[in-house]
Amino acid sequence: MNGIKRRQFLSQLSLAAVGTAISSKLNASSFLISKPSLVEEFVETETSYGKIKGYRTEGVNIFKGIPYAGRTSGERRFRRPAKLQPWTGVREALTLGAPAIQAPRRNEPEPSEDCLFLNVWTPANDNKKRPVMFYNHGGGFVIGSGGSAGQDGANLARNFDVVVVETNHRLGLLGFLYLDEIAGPEYAGSGNMGLLDIIDGLKWVNKNIAQFGGDPNNVMIWGESGGGAKTSCLYAMPAAAPYFNKASIESGPGVRMMDKDTAHENTLQLFNELNIPVNNWQKILEVPASDLLNMQAKLPFVPPFQEKNKNQGTMRRNAGGFGPVVDGKALPNHPFDPGAPAISRNKPLLVGWNEDEYTFFAWERKDADSFKMDFEGLHKKLEPQYGPDTKKIIATYRQARPNATAPDIFVAISSITMMGLGSIDIAEKKARQNGAPVYLYNFGYKSENKIPGTDYAMGTPHAMDISFKFNNEVPPKNGEPTKPSFFGGNRPERFTASHNFAELWTTFARTGKPAAKNAPTWPAYNLKDRATMRIDTELEVINNRFKEEVEMWRSIGKTLN
């Protein structure tokens, strides 16, 4: 009973919910890539499909909207893309390509089923063999694109001499509808089309990135939120294995994905809602994409991970929603269950989360009440999820954090159960492999921005790390006034924290070991010291952080994610 309630609680905090929030709120902000404002010159380069033209600005060559695979509409819906046809002449790569089907995105083209485009930022097209940072965007499995300005790659390329690549790929129902059991062999892998699209992007990088000054033999995959879950899956997929060398999973630990039985139930539920008999399944190919999007919105979101039923050793069922499927083929196993994937044993890994993940959701939901409660109110708030364990949970947190208020403890509990325990689980399983190192982190720079309707600071909310690790929190140029960051606030100290984050990540991309000039040595995670790097204006290694809290979660049978 209590486990089910916890599961329902966590489902409400799913990455899909994150995606909805980012879509409706951040899209309306300055979080999007704007049109080129200062084009110094146009730049042409060859690809395996033909010549393209990008532009250079402030020391970075930028190419947007490059097609990396063919059509996914029409008879290619739910299937692998059509072969991309070469072009003659010079194709312009100056503006973003269409994002996947979703609600319209401000400053981006109209969403389209034909959405397989990518963007590249590079210091120069000079065959220099820079490390390649291949980013998987967030937004759960339902929204987002490689065109959000918080993840604009220009500063990383300019300031740290790397090449940044970001893709658009199929999402939601059109990217993850599991048809393997009712359609023909042409639809094999249908439950993972969105992931297989990303792999096509990695294949494009392998063939072409040398022309952009990148090293095809030194590719890092990374992603936040839903992008972290996608990265978790790619880390376990045989088709992806030849095309990347290291990975980072940020605030999106995808320990387990959806099993085939649940995915099939979701498919049957969809066909029932559409009044399409399963034996006439082809009719779904005729349904307009807009209608499918409307239907997708009526069905439950898929959670970012699937929690194991401790007593039965099976997955808890949660029909509804669309996300990656453990189909035994494209995704042979759960990414990190029962252990870290053997296929990536020799690939270094970064994994971690933000200290105050939950405040993002409070902001998105206009939840002011959670920040006005006392400890009696905290018990009442947690008891529906944790039942008789509630008293022990609160007591453990009050002992570990004697100066914490009731809202402080609520944020800490919500944040670690959402993203922290799964991140620790991944680090421990990777460490047990005795292969390539794994590094655990917490991002902790505190924003002074208040949650609306409260005097409570957001701290380090979910998604705030995006602009920091992309080094997009930088001082203004030419004496311009400092503009406040959407999440990061207005204090100039954020520029130092952003540089720290970006330097650690780009060094990891270059060498497989995160490091920075002003940082202590970051030890690989092991089961004795459990070293964690806390990222802020100062960088600090903390051994066995949250020891008391994690031991308590284990003692009450809370699986790590």
Residue 302's pLDDT is what?
A: 62
Quote the percentage of the chain above a pLDDT of 90.
84
Cα separation, 139 vs 15, in Å, equals 7
CA 371 vs. chain centroid, Å, equals 27
What pLDDT is attached to residue 321? 81
User: CATH homologous superfamily of domain 359-555?
Assistant: Alpha/Beta hydrolase fold, catalytic domain (3.40.50.1820)
The confidence score (pLDDT) of residue 28 equals 32
| Average pLDDT of span 264-285 | 95
Q: How far is CA 352 from the centre of its chain?
A: 12
Q: Are the folds of 1-347 and 359-555 the same?
A: yes
What does DSSP assign to residue 445? P
Please write the tens of the pLDDT for every residue from 105-145.
999 999 999 999 999 999 999 999 999 999 999 999 999 99
Judging by DSSP bridges, how do beta strands 258-259 and 50-57 pair with one another? unpaired
The Cα 123–Cα 265 span in angstroms is: 48
Residues pairing with 450 in the sheet: 457
Q: Strand pairing partners for 163? A: 132
Single-letter amino acid, residue 83: K
Give the range among 11-25, 146-160, 464-478, 522-536 with minimum mean pLDDT.
11-25
| Contact assessment for residue 445 and residue 497, using Cβ atoms and an 8 Å cutoff | yes
Residue 230 · residue 223 · CB < 8 Å: yes
Can you read off the two tokens belonging to residue 132?
């390649």
CATH number of 1-347: 3.40.50.1820
225 given a catalytic annotation: yes
Q: What pLDDT is attached to residue 11?
A: 36
Q: Domain limits of the chain?
A: 1-347, 359-555
Tell me what the mean pLDDT of segment 399-418 comes to.
97
Could you give the CA distance from residue 466 to residue 118 in angstroms, rounded to a whole number?
Answer: 18
**Could you read off the pLDDT of 327-374 as tens digits, one per residue?**
999 999 999 999 999 999 999 999 999 999 999 999 999 999 999 999
Q: What pLDDT score does 313 carry?
A: 40
The token duo for 227 is 């992008």
d(CA 445, CA 460): 6
DSSP letters along 508-519, please?
HHHHSS---TTS
pLDDT band at 559 (very low <50, low <70, confident <90, very high): low
Measured CA to CA, the distance from residue 1 to residue 328 in angstroms comes to: 31
Region class of 370: left (phi > 0), else alpha (psi between -120 and 50), else beta:
alpha
In sequence order, what are the beta bridge partners of 60?
57
Cα(57)–Cα(172) distance, integer angstroms: 35
Is there a contact between 230 and 144 (Cβ–Cβ < 8 Å)?
A: no
| pLDDT tens, position by position, 23-78 | 434 433 333 344 455 788 999 999 999 999 999 999 999 999 999 999 999 999 99
What pLDDT is recorded for position 15?
42
pLDDT in tens, 286-336: 999 999 999 998 887 665 555 664 443 433 444 568 999 999 999 999 999
CB 301 within 8 A of CB 216: no
What does the pLDDT look like over 387-402, one tens digit per residue? 999 999 999 999 999 9
User: Average pLDDT of the chain?
Assistant: 91
What pLDDT, on a 0 to 100 scale, did the predictor assign at position 314?
37
Span 508-523, average pLDDT = 97
The owner of tokens 């740290």 is 160
106-110, 245-249, 507-511: which has the minimum mean pLDDT?
106-110
What average pLDDT does range 450-468 have in this prediction? 97
Amino acid identity, residue 15? L
Pick the range with the lowest mean pLDDT from 12-21, 119-128, 279-288, 451-460: 12-21
For residue 118, what are its two tokens? 């990518």
Counting residues of the chain whose pLDDT is more than 70, the rounded percentage is 89
Residue 14 has pLDDT above 80, yes or no: no
pLDDT of residue 13 exceeding 70: no
The pLDDT of 457-477, averaged and rounded, is 96
pTM: 0.93
* Position 181 pLDDT exceeds 60: yes
**Pairing label, strands 41-47, 50-57:** antiparallel
Tell me which amino acid residue 281 is.
W
Catalytic residue among 23, 145, 225, 423: 225
